[in-house]
Structure 1
């Protein structure tokens, strides 16, 4: 029996709610299945689905209900207005990280041709976006996961930007090359190990744990990075990191210890949670 788009979306909404998922996820999957924008989708709600489309949509909805992230099913997530390829090898970019990028771009408006590094790049969302927004910058992206770097490289190529990718742990590749940077950004793993049981199965079963967990208190990577910063930062350099809510004061204290004459500031995200720490070295 022929099924119209609005009927399929209504079924998906009920099915997803019944399985504890976001009802609006159906719209994302439908856009992907029929290959249209949201405005085009809304204009075609009374159009019929082909049997192939209907079957594909139903299969995706059921997979998401079982815990597979929507982004893995459709293969992309939007970040700063651009589509990024995502998969099980990288953290799915979050809206909070867009705020880190926005504030960084505001803070570096006066810097000409800066050298910028993204530590723990994952999908490349930060590095690729920064390069796209600031073509004059020399942008480097580092990750310990070779698979993540492959995905990030694909995103850079797809979005037509030139980023240099380095394989290694935190700032170690920079130190090995003697590279000094003007701006260092990072969204490292910061979830305390003990909070694993509180996470959604969509996250904990499908996203890489090395991109999620930061030791017992979630601060292991910040401690190590803080120790490396004095070796790689140029005078008057800027460091910007994302943290978990409630971690900013501890991270700021680590930066203060590394740069006693530096200046740290804590920024809140759109949800009024302390989320970012910036350091002028």
Structure 2
């Protein structure tokens, strides 16, 4: 390829968008990558489309685009992903936060206010915290919450701790398998989780960017995708208070099965299955009293 000495920003974006589309990648990555290289926001980028890139900037931009086309998620290349307006540090030890999970958090914030009124003194656990995005966001949006974030992965907890410090979120991090560390020791008002829920049979349909780079332990939930829900739900009676709010992110089409799993133990629970912005089942909320 010709060296783009003096290439304009708009030319670089056009090249990258076309190159990405040719290789079945999201063309919007071009803008994210160039903003990262230039360390500017979207408004600044759009205002400077006719500015020229230096040769070093162009090479850095090309490198990111080529690496992404080869399969590496752009978030791992940049080292962060935006969630709730904050840039969370990510690496291959953690699942990349998704917009759907922002919807889970929004739903939890609304229901905490609805069912409890005040957050004062409420104990919350985020199971399988990964980057800490859910736990940290809940703490920052509702500072009165007492938030614990757990994960079985030491590597994930390192990233979650880095993010908690980055945003000044006073949360407690616990290493352990699901709710096991808390049985007989701690009870919670609020339980939230985005566990692995992709059925193993769906692996072949996933993008190589996802299945070859994000941690499998954070993606797959057994043959039907429900293994982690079964385990968490069986542990709930041992860790919830008399009144408790639960919230799960789920895969499309899993809502009814999870409703039935919960009602086996809590027949009177008020269960909601909520669709995401794309009209797919994505959240299950339940209030136990």
TM-score by length of structure 1 reads: 0.98
Look up the match of 1:255: 262
> In the alignment, is residue 128 of structure 1 matched against residue 132 of structure 2?
no
SS at match of 1:170: coil
Look up the match of 1:202: 209
What 5-or-longer segments of structure 1 have no aligned partner? none
Of 252-261 and 53-62, more deviation after overlay is shown by 252-261
Judge conservation of contact 2:119–2:142 (CA < 8 Å) in 1: no
Judge conservation of contact 1:256–1:263 (CA < 8 Å) in 2: no
Q: Distance in 2 between matches of 1:74 and 1:30?
A: 11
Look up the match of 1:102: 106
Q: CA deviation at 1:258?
A: 1.6
Q: Distance in 2 between matches of 1:182 and 1:13?
A: 47
Q: Distance in 2 between matches of 1:111 and 1:140?
A: 18
Q: 1:181 aligns with which of 181, 188, 194?
A: 188
> In the alignment, is residue 151 of structure 1 matched against residue 194 of structure 2?
no
Q: CA deviation at 1:52?
A: 1.1
What 5-or-longer segments of structure 2 have no aligned partner? none
Q: Distance in 1 between matches of 2:119 and 2:23?
A: 51
Q: Please, what is the CA RMSD of the aligned residues?
A: 0.8
> In the alignment, is residue 76 of structure 1 matched against residue 84 of structure 2?
no
> In the alignment, is residue 244 of structure 1 matched against residue 251 of structure 2?
yes
State the 4+ residue runs in structure 1 displaced beyond 3 angstroms. none
Between the two proteins, the alignment pairs up a number of residues equal to 280
Residues 192-240 of structure 1 deviation map (CA, whole Å, 9 limit, x = unaligned): 0111111000000110000000000000000011100011011110000
Look up the match of 1:165: 173
Q: CA deviation at 1:79?
A: 0.5
Look up the match of 1:226: 233
Q: Distance in 2 between matches of 1:275 and 1:201?
A: 22
TM-score by length of structure 2 reads: 0.95
